[in-house]
């Protein structure tokens, strides 16, 4: 991992993670003494450069004191080819396998080893995150899905053990119905959170901020900060 910038007590690293022989690029941002790390699984067509993803990640760092990893699930070469075919970015099994590989790398990483791991998934990325969580039940501490295509993960929902927050737009009735059915299929601790007045992409004023705040609250609750005040001092 290579240091790129340092600002406001947040260390930022450009990282390349090997998954199945491919190098996936991401941005790891670590506040001082993070309580955990949240891996972002993007929706199809999105990337680590998305201003929306960056806004949510910034809120998580500031309000929940977690590190964040925004990472592309396709290589630049794959993404360029996929711009015409959209085959890989809609291949949920492929995306989920890469999320699993990144999770394994974070669990073993020098900077991230030992940190509780959370997943934030949007759209098709939410399905990939849930499938990955079902495959790594002992590694994932908490999940947040925003506008998730949970119909693509229905077969594994009963195997997800991490507490899961499902955030949906109130005006997107199809997504509300889909997420409500998914919540009923899950056996883990879960909560359906409807953002009133929001459309499918949460583009209305302040709505993405509501998403970010609810996500930060979820991760802060599921990844409690360690209190070292009473620990013995040498």
pLDDT in tens, 63-106: 999 999 999 998 888 888 877 777 777 899 999 999 999 999 99
Of residues 212 and 75, more confidence is placed in: 212
Q: Does position 220 have pLDDT exceeding 70, yes or no?
A: yes
DSSP string, the chain: -EEEEEETTEEEEEEEEEETTEEEEEEEEEESS-S-EEEEEPPTT--TT-HHHHHHHHHHHHHH--EEEEE-SS-HHHHHHHHHH--STT-HHHHHHHHHHHHHHHHH-TTTTTS-EEEEEETHHHHHHHHHHHH-TTTEEEEEEES--GGGGGGGGGG--S-EEEEEETT-HHHHHHHHHHHHH--SSEEEEEETT--TT--STTHHHHHHHHHHHHHHHHSPPP--TTS---
pLDDT in tens, 98-149: 999 999 999 999 999 999 999 999 999 999 999 999 999 999 999 999 999 9
pLDDT at 233: 34
- Delimit the domains of the chain by residue range: 2-222
Q: Cα 105 vs. chain centroid, distance in angstroms? A: 15
Token pair, residue 180, equals 């409500």
pLDDT at 226: 57
pLDDT at 80: 80
List of residues 6+ apart from 64 with CB closer than 8 A: 35, 215, 216, 217, 219, 220, 223
Token pair, residue 90, equals 């809609």
CATH topology for the 2-222 domain: Rossmann fold (3.40.50)
Give the whole-angstrom CA distance, residue 66 versus residue 225: 10
Q: Is the dihedral of CA 132, 53, 72, 10 positive or negative?
A: negative
pLDDT at 6: 39
List of residues 6+ apart from 8 with CB closer than 8 A: none
Q: Is the whole-model pTM more than 0.85?
A: yes
Q: Nearest to residue 147, comparing CAs of 48, 54, 221, 44? A: 44
């Amino acid at each position: 991992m290579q240091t790129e910038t340092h600002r406001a007590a947040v260390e930022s690293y450009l990282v390349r993670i090997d998954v199945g022989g491919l190098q996936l690029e991401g941005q790891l941002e670590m506040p001082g003494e993070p309580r955990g790390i949240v891996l972002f699984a993007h929706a199809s067509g999105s990337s680590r450069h998305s201003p929306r993803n960056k806004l949510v990640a910034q809120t998580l760092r500031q309000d929940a004191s977690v590190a964040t990893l925004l990472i592309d699930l396709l290589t630049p070469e794959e993404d360029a080819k996929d711009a015409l075919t959209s085959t890989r970015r809609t291949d949920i099994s492929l995306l989920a396998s890469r999320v699993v590989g990144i999770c394994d790398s974070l669990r073993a990483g020098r900077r991230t080893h030992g940190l509780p791991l959370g997943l934030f998934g949007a759209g098709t990325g939410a399905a990939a995150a849930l499938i990955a969580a079902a495959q790594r039940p002992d590694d994932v501490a908490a999940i947040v899905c925003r506008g998730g295509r949970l119909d693509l993960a229905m077969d594994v929902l009963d195997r997800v053990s991490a507490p899961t927050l499902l955030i949906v737009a109130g005006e997107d009735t199809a997504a509300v119905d889909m997420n409500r059915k998914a919540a009923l299929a899950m056996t883990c601790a879960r909560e359906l959170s409807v953002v009133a007045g929001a459309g499918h992409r949460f583009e209305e004023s302040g709505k993405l901020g509501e998403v970010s705040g609810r996500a930060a609250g979820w991760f802060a609750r599921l990844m409690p900060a360690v209190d070292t005040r009473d620990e013995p001092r040498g």
